């Protein structure tokens, strides 16, 4: 089964087709099921054959209940958690400090939407118990350390909690406030690759987890905001990230198809790939709120809610039973949240106008953007427009 799974993986990595990815995932799932059965059988036999051997029995139980951690043992302390918190925070601060504030590109920063809509979103709609139940049951059952109840148990006893939960959710929507108690994230360091030195802080990435009730409120807001954005055509048509029926595959197909069409027309394609460092973590809150208000027409209680949602956030790093001091977050969209990807897409809306102004084709997936153009073999003048576009993108991002 392992050979079959590896064969399916190689085929998917070679073709990058969705059908081969599905075959690979099915093979991997079947392999993991059989592996789990074999593991269960092995440990059952080991325990049954050592019922009178307490040393082996306790060693086996310890092995099952406390698997080895990727984190070095010297990292297991409150002081190391504080070092992680400082490192993650300083990384973001250093990127923001490096951002230029040159006034020479004021005209780039002051881009305004070329379209104006009369429709605005000034208030949320209250939800009923049916909508609430549907949202809760469809959310992932991952549990945050800050949750009073494990998520799987929360879902089981939802009927007992439904009335109070519904009151909390609707109170948040109607008052334009996001509860302060739900703004703290638990961050766990995760080694980027298993072969990296696990004693070096920069080899870890922060994995953020948020309280489940906060995610419920977010999902309600997401559904109403997404419906408004789609009905008014505010979302960028060439942004494939975090949208239904869009994927890295659809983005890749679009770009490859455009390049092939250029080739069939006897033209040369020039492709530039842009990638941002800590893009989600460095979003400026004031600029984001300006985008929401002036670019997509959020106002009243809705814009008040988003201001409340962004301000006063923080996190602490947790490793095992150890944790850091609470650290404030003054920028960025909340990692691990439901709204973060959509908010980032709205934050990046002006980028499309820079491309269109310079007549440069583009396609984005989240924070990865590809810009490209076609050249006639004897005419390289469009390169000037491409260079101008890149300069303006750089200035806008700064």
Per-residue pLDDT of the chain (398 residues; tens, 9 = 90+): 878 888 888 888 888 888 888 888 888 888 888 888 888 888 888 888 888 887 787 777 766 765 555 677 778 899 999 999 999 999 998 888 877 444 443 444 556 665 556 678 999 999 999 999 999 999 998 889 899 999 999 999 999 999 999 999 999 999 999 999 999 999 999 988 878 888 889 999 999 999 999 999 999 999 999 999 999 988 888 888 878 888 888 888 999 999 999 999 999 999 999 888 888 899 999 999 999 999 999 999 999 999 999 999 999 999 988 999 999 999 999 999 999 999 999 999 998 889 988 999 999 888 889 999 999 988 888 899 999 999 998 888 76
Cα–Cα distance, 135 to 165 (Å, whole number): 12
Q: Within a 10 A sphere around the Cβ of 230, how many other Cβ atoms?
A: 12
Single out the residue of 346, 273, 265 nearest to residue 306, CA to CA: 346
Q: What is the predicted pLDDT for the residue at 10?
A: 85
Largest CA distance in the chain: 85
pTM across the whole model:
0.76
Pairing of strands 368-375, 268-274: antiparallel
Residue 351 vs residues 3, 27, 53, 321: alpha-carbon distances, Å? 45, 40, 67, 44
Q: What is the predicted pLDDT for the residue at 118?
A: 67
Provide the token pair at 253. Answer: 């197909």
Q: What is the predicted pLDDT for the residue at 257?
A: 94
Residue pair 370/383 in contact (Cβ under 8 Å)? The answer is no
Give the angle 340-252-355 at the CA atoms, nearest 5°: 70
Provide the token pair at 57. Answer: 């029995």
Q: What is the predicted pLDDT for the residue at 107?
A: 43
Residue pair 191/198 in contact (Cβ under 8 Å)? The answer is yes
Provide the token pair at 67. Answer: 């698997």
Residue 67 vs residues 77, 111, 188, 289: alpha-carbon distances, Å? 18, 53, 17, 44
Q: What is the predicted pLDDT for the residue at 128?
A: 96
Count of CA atoms in the C-beta half-sphere (13 A) of 280: 16
Residue pair 209/184 in contact (Cβ under 8 Å)? The answer is no
**Strand, helix or coil for residue 74:** helix
């Amino acid at each position: 089964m392992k050979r079959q799974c590896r064969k399916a993986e190689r085929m998917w990595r070679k073709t990058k087709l969705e059908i081969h990815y599905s075959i690979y995932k099915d093979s991997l799932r079947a392999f993991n099921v059989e592996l789990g059965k074999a593991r269960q059988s092995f440990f059952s036999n080991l325990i049954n054959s050592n019922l009178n051997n307490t040393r082996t029995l306790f060693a086996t139980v310890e092995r099952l209940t406390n698997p080895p951690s990727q984190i070095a043992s010297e990292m297991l302390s409150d002081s190391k958690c504080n070092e992680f918190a400082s490192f993650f925070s300083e990384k973001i601060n250093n990127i923001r400090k490096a951002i230029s504030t040159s006034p020479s590109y004021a005209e780039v920063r002051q881009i305004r939407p070329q379209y104006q809509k009369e429709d605005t979103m000034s208030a949320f709609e209250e939800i009923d118990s049916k909508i609430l139940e549907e949202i809760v049951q469809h959310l992932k059952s991952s549990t945050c350390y800050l949750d009073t109840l494990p998520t799987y148990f929360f879902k089981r006893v939802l009927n007992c909690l439904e009335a109070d939960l519904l009151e909390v959710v609707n109170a948040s929507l109607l008052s334009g406030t996001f509860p302060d108690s739900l703004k703290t994230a638990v961050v766990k360091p995760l080694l980027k690759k298993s072969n990296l030195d696990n004693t070096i802080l920069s080899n870890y990435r922060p994995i953020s987890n948020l309280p489940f009730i906060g995610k419920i409120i977010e999902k309600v807001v997401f559904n109403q905001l997404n419906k408004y954005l789609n009905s008014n055509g505010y979302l960028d048509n060439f942004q494939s990230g975090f949208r239904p029926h869009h994927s890295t595959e659809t983005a890749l197909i679009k770009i490859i198809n455009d390049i092939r069409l250029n080739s069939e027309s006897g033209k040369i394609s020039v492709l530039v790939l842009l990638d941002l460092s800590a893009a989600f973590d460095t979003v400026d809150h004031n600029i984001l709120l300006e985008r929401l208000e002036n670019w997509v027409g959020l106002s009243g209680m809705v814009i008040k809610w988003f201001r409340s949602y962004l301000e006063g956030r923080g996190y602490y790093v947790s490793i095992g039973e150890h944790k850091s001091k609470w650290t404030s977050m003054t920028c960025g969209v909340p990692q691990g949240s439901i709204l973060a990807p959509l908010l980032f897409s709205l934050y990046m809306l002006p980028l499309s106008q820079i491309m269109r102004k310079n007549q440069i084709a583009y396609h984005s997936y989240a924070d990865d953007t590809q810009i490209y153009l076609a050249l006639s073999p004897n005419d390289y003048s469009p390169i000037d427009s491409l260079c101008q576009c890149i300069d303006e993108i750089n200035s806008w991002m700064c």
